[in-house]
Homo-oligomer: A and B are copies of this chain.
């Protein structure tokens, strides 16, 4: 074939003596010197975060890592029960539940806020928020990040993440707009909903300058750690067999 093939990348490469990652020498400059969360940020954003950014970013990952027996955690445990030889399959099965309904809120909220800000003609966050909630309501759409099935008054993660962002000088327009939504939505919806943790994480990630189309990816990375914890616990103290039997024994056949 005549054409020349070129597959450019700025991530990793290696030769006989060295491994490069993100333009750094992996062994000499990164291992032992860069944290894992820091590296994950750098890999996606293409720039090294500063310590305050790392702290906020890792707080988001910690907030999203595990929430007990979510459908994705149960799916991972059941898959591990069926195919214990393939840990990667159990992890993948758990991550595949990271779609629109559960893990998607982080990305949906970040994108919603970014879209409002992109079209904004003022920096009066309360008016921007009011209009955005009114428009969502008129279109019969949910406002992502509002409401939680368990934390009906307040999601404990929300004020903590806002405090960390503020301490680190990273309280930016997405978080401001998100808090404004928290203040103004009762005027439109006629009830008061909490700003949920998945939503505040999306706002914080967007304020960190991470691409809104990939915010779900960070929720998935966080969840990967949580799912490993679930699988490790399943190995020590299995419950997937009991879950399966609970369903199977209470099956009612109605052809």
Contacts and interface: CB of A to CB of B under 8 A. Distances in A.
A214 B232 contact: yes
Interface string A76-108: 001101111111111111011111111110000
Interface string A231-255: 1110111011011101111111111
Contact of A9 (B104, B233, B244): B233
Contacts of A96: 79, 83, 86, 88-90, 92-93, 96
A70 B237 CA distance: 20
Given A35-B35, A62-B26, A243 B239 contact: no
A68 interface: yes
Interface residues of A, number: 129
A101 B82 contact: yes
A84 B88 CA distance: 13
B69 A97 contact: no
A71 interface: yes
B82 A97 contact: yes
Contacts of A237: 8
A97 B89 contact: yes
Copies of this chain, whole number:
4
14 contacts: A5-B250, A9-B69, A9-B251, A13-B251, A23-B255, A27-B159, A31-B161, A36-B65, A39-B225, A43-B65, A218-B228, A221-B224, A243-B243, A246-B246
Given A7-B242, A89-B97, 17 more contacts: A1-B250, A8-B253, A11-B68, A12-B67, A28-B160, A31-B63, A31-B161, A36-B40, A36-B58, A70-B244, A82-B99, A83-B97, A84-B99, A86-B96, A88-B89, A88-B216, A213-B235
